[in-house]
Amino acid sequence: MSEAGEHNPPRLGASMLSRLRSMPPWMGALIALFLLMAITGVFEPAFLRPTNLTNIVNQQSVVGVIAVGMTLVIILGGIDLSVGSLLALAGGAGILALNARFDPQSAEWSAIGIAIVVTLAVGLAAGLLNGVLIAKGGIAPFIATLGGLVAYRSAATWIANGGQFFVEGSRSFRELGRGIPIPGTNIAPADADVKPYVLPYSILVFIGIALLGSILLNRTRYGRYVYAIGCSERAAIYSAVPVARIKIMTYALIGLATGLAAVLNATRYNSVNSANAGLLMELEAIAAVVIGGTRMQGGAGGILGTVIGVILLGVIRNVQVMLGFESHASGVVMGVIIIAAVLFQRLGRRE
């Protein structure tokens, strides 16, 4: 007698659906990225020029550094809405420290070093405060970081009197916003002087932070604890996981990442606008994390998907500019992407 399976072979559609479900969560974002780049390259060949692609990643490096920290927080089962406001406050504090310590008669890099340390310290302190309020104070992450969003932005605006923080005197500070010329390269037209390809420092920092975040998640006890808490905080407590300490550490890390992003942002523009710097950056970071396959409820996700999500958002913005779409529509596009990504996550788990 033949087995039932021989008379009822699996349907082609069911087999295809099973294969799709077995793919890594970030694979969909990667396919979408390649398709968008290929289609745009056909209609607008200038899109695929190395200088344009480098510019996309360079523009996304600031939010990318924050998104790496946001990945840790969301896998943990939390959220941080304060990062955009904190970027303005930390960057402004760093510029004030630079201006206060700058002396044309002394070593300029000493003042720059102090400014960087102050910027990172402000980010770290704010992250620690958020973590303590959440882990020890029992405040919901949404509420605690929403308060930070308002407080940090207000503090930055108050200190700057509603204006901008400008770098005064230091020329070397802006050099940090440039990059490394690659020997033997030339991106100038044939009849012009040689112009080497420049790899921005911010891209190197983004790559380094992404690698560090991946190692933390996949190669350390801390990473295992983050996943465990995100899957089930109660089970993690019963398993003797130091939940409060891991929460505080995770929010401290995203605060430190935001401080580093503030350094990149300040060196790029040589100033920080207290009202606009980092505006809606928390939305873009969350969008990149969710697009990359990290589950909003926590317990699943990774840095590779976040990097793909960050670049995909940058490509979408660049395509909007090249094809002449209204720039103010970018927020609408980002909101739709977040909702669609979360919806697909929920449908996938339901299936």
pLDDT tens readout for residues 306-340: 999 999 999 988 888 777 665 666 667 666 766 77
Please give the residue range of the domain that contains residue 236.
Answer: 61-278
The CA-based angle 325-313-31, given to 5 degrees, is 110
Asked if residues 148 and 122 have their Cβ atoms less than 8 Å apart, the reply is no
Q: Using the 8-state DSSP alphabet, how is residue 199 labeled?
A: E
Could you identify the residue written with the tokens 């420092």?
201
DSSP 11: P
pLDDT of residue 22: 65
Rounded-to-integer distance, Cα 76 and Cα 271, Å: 34
246-302 pLDDT, tens digit per residue, is 999 999 999 999 999 999 999 999 999 988 998 889 999 999 999 888 988 888 889
Among 36, 86, 23, smallest CA distance to 309 is for 36
Does some domain include residue 285? no
What average pLDDT does the structure give for the chain?
86
Closest CA to 257 of 209, 199, 307, 322: 209
**pTM of this structure:** 0.88
Q: In which band, very low, low, confident or very high, does the pLDDT at 171 lie, cut at 50, 70 and 90? A: confident
> Is 49 contained in some domain?
no
- CA neighbours closer than 13 Å in the CB half-sphere of residue 9: 2
Q: Are 201 and 180 in contact (CB under 8 A)?
A: yes
> Is residue 46, in this structure, part of any structural domain at all?
no
Helix (H, G, I), strand (E, B) or coil at 102: coil
Quick check: is 258 in a domain?
yes
Residue 292 lies in a domain: no
Q: Are 195 and 304 in contact (CB under 8 A)?
A: no
Cα 209 to Cα 292: distance, rounded to the nearest angstrom: 17
Q: How many CA atoms lie within 13 A of 100 on its CB side?
A: 10
Answer whether residue 319 is part of any domain.
Answer: no
The pLDDT assigned to 33 comes to 86
Q: What angle do CA 49, 55, 57 make, to 5 degrees?
A: 110
- Asked if 64 and 303 touch (Cβ cutoff 8 Å), the reply is no
Number of domains composing the chain: 1
DSSP string, 155-171: HHHHHTTTSEEE--S-S
| pLDDT score for 2 | 46
Query: What digits encode the pLDDT tens for the residues 112-163?
Result: 999 999 999 999 999 999 999 999 999 999 999 999 999 999 999 999 998 8
Q: Measure the CA–CA gap between 151 and 81, rounded to whole angstroms.
A: 12
Is there a domain that residue 40 lies in?
no
Q: Which tokens go with 215?
A: 């190692």
Cα–Cα–Cα angle for 302, 309, 196, rounded to 5 degrees: 110
- How confident is residue 203, by pLDDT bands cut at 50, 70 and 90? very high
Closest CA to 118 of 91, 146, 153: 91
| Pairwise CA distance, residues 229 & 240, whole Å | 11
Instruction: Please report whether residue 338 resides in a domain.
Output: no
